[in-house]
Amino acid sequence: MGSVGVTGSLASARRIARFTAVMYKPHYLLYGVLWVLALEGTAALAAQPDSAWRPTGATVLRIVVVAFVLLYLRMVDEQKDLEYDRVHNPDRPLVTGAVSAVDLRVAMGLIAVGAVAASLALSVGSAVMITVAMVYGLALWGLERLSGTVRTHILVNLVVTYPVQLLVTGYVVVSAIDTGEVRAQWQAAATAVIFAGAFLQFEFARKTSRMRRPDELLYSNALGAKGSAAASLLCAFTAVLCDLVLVRPWDYAAPASIVAWLPVPLLLVPAFGALKFRSSDRVEYPVLPAVVFILALYLALIGQALALP
């Protein structure tokens, strides 16, 4: 019996590894790393512009926790979206049987225990915040099963589901305050607007099409292609504007001011995407500029945090 159990566990681990390779691409991990560094650094710069920010061992541990929690949330989504994926994404691992719901749930349990334990090593507040984020992810699964409106109305779904991203943002900021990398000031909390805008510009871009497809969850179904494209662009502008308000680049002299103003020219990237969509006959909104913008903005924010104080 023992050897059978070990064999079964190893087989399950291999299925989870294959799931991770397919559904958690390297650029997702890169996004998680840059997100934590940019968020912690920007919160520190905004809340304590008189002192330098540098990543610490606590920063590294937060990156590890966020990376695994993003995988956890990906596993929740895989199960939550199963019926939708059977129609629109039939090659997904859970649909094809490459991984089972039991495999995912066991892995989720292990990740949850590890994330809470690692966060508890940082602070009690860290453990509480990451627990709330993971519980909220599970609650969304239940809510979508119970509410047809949440499940099928894209804008309602966004309002209900986006807070899980805010909770992870809150985890990073609260944890960094607890471990001393960030000062407890309102500016630290306000940095959440930057990251909400950056992420949502990508979210709108990836679900925008000229073709109305009522059976798919597209923002353009609710807002129209132009409205959805405009929403993406507005989110990018909001992110940069919030950074300018918090960082105050006009207070810096050259050459530091060059780094301080860097997010502004980055707006040309999503603007190019919007212009390309408007001036061509392409059906789908170009997602690559939205991806480039969010990654480039996070790199610029990390540069600001390292260079400006």
pLDDT at 145: 82
Mean pLDDT across the chain: 92
Extract the tokens encoding 79. Answer: 């199960």
Using 50, 70 and 90 to split pLDDT, how confident is the model at 2?
Answer: low
pLDDT at 3: 58
| 93-102, 157-166, 212-221, range with greatest mean pLDDT | 157-166
**Average pLDDT, integer, range 164-175:** 97
Quote the pTM value: 0.92
| 240-288 tens-digit pLDDT | 999 999 999 999 888 888 999 999 999 999 999 999 998 878 889 999 9
pLDDT at 6: 67
Q: What are the structural domains, with CATH classification, of the chain?
A: 12-183 (1.10.357.140), 185-309 (1.20.120)
- CA-closest candidate to residue 242, choices 267, 220, 224: 267
Q: With 90 as the cut, is the pLDDT of residue 170 above it?
A: yes
pLDDT at 146: 83
**Average pLDDT, integer, range 214-224:** 89
**Average pLDDT, integer, range 113-141:** 96
pLDDT at 4: 52
Q: With 60 as the cut, is the pLDDT of residue 165 above it?
A: yes
| 67-77 tens-digit pLDDT | 999 999 999 98
Rounded to whole angstroms, the Cα distance separating 131 from 171 reads 9
Rounded to whole angstroms, the Cα distance separating 164 from 162 reads 5
Q: What percent of the chain has pLDDT over 70?
A: 98
Q: Are 249 and 257 in contact (CB under 8 A)?
A: yes
Total Cβ atoms within 10 A of residue 282? 12
